[in-house]
Structure 1
Amino acid sequence: MSSKRILHVTSELVPYFNENPISSGVYNLAKQMFAQGNDVRIFMPRFGMINERRFQLHEVIRLSGMNLIINDLDQPLVIKVASLPGERMQVYFIENQEYFKRKAIYHDNSNQWFEDNDERSVFFTKGVLETIKKLNWVPDIIHIHGWMASFLPIYLRTIYANDAFFNDIKIITSVYNHGDGGLFSENLKDILEFDNIDTSKLQFLTDNSYTSIIKQAMNDSDSIVKGEEVLLDELEDLFNKLDTPKFGFVQDENVENIYQDTNEINIQE
């Protein structure tokens, strides 16, 4: 396979998180493709529990300083970067005091999902897309992992659809069970519609559950991958029904095929 530019967008990654299907899955995929000579980069939120000194994060001044409008709120974007420990692969961190500084990741102290997780996810999505534009680094493939990254296909297929910068990018979604039972706020559709997204055309956004966003991402992707051997029934059902090219739970020997086969797919209209 010729060298590719591959961007992983995730909420979790080893060693910044403990090992789990998402954090380990991203790490293993990225490391293997990087070792084969591909230009691989990773974006994730800079959560408050990530130790900047330990992992040697530093701010990228030329990329920071943008402000993103989220549901009529003006939010500053700061970009920090580090090299993945033991590797020369770059990890970019999306930082915002309002959304990511808190020490808890997804839930409050009473184990309730944060009410602004929808805003956090949209900020993360827009932050990633605007930052790669500012970098002038056009990935061949964007590979997303987890519900927090699952807004990205929606935005690429709608408000960024006519942006020439993103014309030839293919999208892969790895599907995980993370987020089962989670609910976004009742303002989810308002947040998307503020960005001029016609939510009536998002056929899988039937409620404000996290799984509905994952389903929409699956539908809007060029290929989908099982991030876990056994998926929730509703995700498994959709995985089987979609005509989208699909890959089962990734084994080491077929990782390259995911990116080769996806790169050869014609862009969805």
Structure 2
Amino acid sequence: MSKLRILYLTSEIDPFLELSKIASLTRKLPQEMQERGMEIRILMPRFGTINERKNRLHEVVRLSGINISVGDEEKPLIIKVASIPSAKLQVYFLDNEDYFQRKTVFTDKQGTFYDDNDERAIFFCKGALETVKKLGWAPDVVHCTDWMTALVPLYLKTTYKNDPIFKNTKAVFTVYNNVFDHKFSEDIIPKAKMIDISDENLANLRSRDFSGLIKVGCEFADVIVKANDELREDIESIMEESSDKKIEALVEDENITDTFFNLYNELVDLEKVEE
């Protein structure tokens, strides 16, 4: 049998960037799954706080050079890669001069949420899927982590549903309590659009906020995962509306790797991955 292929999309991973407990979990899960025989890829944004020289990032020329549309604009995508020390794992970093070469991550030095964080998330979600296409690597499961990856399940179920790379891919969306109160501009929907996506597919984005992104991720994912014991009340309600496909895998749970190992295997029809 072929190995299960798991793609992790995250905004942070230890040791490159640690903003919350997500970073340690996204470091732990891929290594554990690889040690259990799965094939792993990890993608994240190349935020400006990540020191390229210290972490030995280098550009992957064969993957770079794609332009990603964000509304009416085309933004060049640069792909870099680095190895995780003490692990046989590589992380692919998605970079763009306009979006990621800043000295802070989601807020400026005064703590103000960046107005274009929606564009940065859209660019990352679209860019990640295009990068995987260019790799020619068909994932069985895409594990989407937190709000910045929320649009990926939607794109997989619409624009990419008949793509040979993604046609059998399942999406897992993990929801954390990393809430923000910012309201994005009204053009978030046209910026998020891709081929074969209707306004109705993006209806939950009309709120232009954190909960809207979470709603989209929950609507289109095959499984949604509650990662924090206590979520903000409105986010808890969103997850309860999708209770038929919700599981709990709390970030503090010492058995969390077993939970995800079993989940990935249950999601994939093993007969389809036989050679």
Relative to the length of structure 2, the TM-score reads: 0.89
Q: 1:66 to 1:206 in 2, by over 3 A?
A: closer
Q: Which residue of 2 aligns with 1:213?
A: 213
Runs of 4+ in 1 over 3 A off after TM superposition: 193-196
CA apart distance, 1:186: 2.2
CA apart distance, 1:173: 0.5
Q: 1:112 to 1:27 in 2, by over 3 A?
A: same
Q: Would the aligned equivalents of 2:189 and 2:206 in 1 still touch at CA under 8 Å?
A: no
Q: Which residue of 2 aligns with 1:223?
A: 223
Q: 1:226 to 1:264 in 2, by over 3 A?
A: farther
Q: Would the aligned equivalents of 1:22 and 1:227 in 2 still touch at CA under 8 Å?
A: no
Q: Which residue of 2 aligns with 1:200?
A: 200
Q: 1:181 to 1:137 in 2, by over 3 A?
A: same
Q: Which residue of 1 aligns with 2:64?
A: 64
CA apart distance, 1:184: 2.1
CA apart distance, 1:95: 0.6
Q: Which residue of 2 aligns with 1:5?
A: 5
- Counterpart residue type for residue 161 of structure 1: K
Q: Which residue of 2 aligns with 1:117?
A: 117
Q: Which residue of 1 aligns with 2:240?
A: 240
Please tell me whether residue 184 in structure 1 is matched to residue 184 in structure 2. Answer: yes
- Counterpart residue type for residue 99 of structure 1: Y
Q: Identity of aligned pairs, percent?
A: 39
- Aligned counterpart for 1:254 among listed residues 255, 259, 262: 259
Please tell me whether residue 36 in structure 1 is matched to residue 36 in structure 2. Answer: yes
Write out aligned runs for 1:92-103 (5 A). Answer: 92-103=92-103
Q: 1:73 to 1:107 in 2, by over 3 A?
A: same
Structure 1, unaligned stretches of length 5 or more?
A: none
SS, match of residue 110 in structure 1: coil
- Counterpart residue type for residue 45 of structure 1: P
Structure 2, unaligned stretches of length 5 or more?
A: 271-275
Q: Which residue of 1 aligns with 2:155?
A: 155
CA apart distance, 1:50: 0.3
Q: 1:73 to 1:205 in 2, by over 3 A?
A: closer
Q: 1:71 to 1:83 in 2, by over 3 A?
A: same
Please tell me whether residue 134 in structure 1 is matched to residue 134 in structure 2. Answer: yes
- What is the aligned-residue RMSD (CA, Å)? 2.0
Q: 1:108 to 1:195 in 2, by over 3 A?
A: farther
Q: 1:19 to 1:86 in 2, by over 3 A?
A: farther
Relative to the length of structure 1, the TM-score reads: 0.91
Which is further off, 15-24 or 106-115?
15-24
CA apart distance, 1:72: 1.4
Can you list the C-alpha shifts for 1:101-133, whole angstroms capped at 9, x where unaligned? Answer: 011111123322111111111111111111111
The CA distance in 1 between the partners of 2:120 and 2:133, in whole Å, is 20
CA apart distance, 1:88: 0.8
Q: Which residue of 2 aligns with 1:15?
A: 15
- Counterpart residue type for residue 54 of structure 1: K
Q: Which residue of 2 aligns with 1:26?
A: 26
The CA distance in 2 between the partners of 1:261 and 1:245, in whole Å, is 13
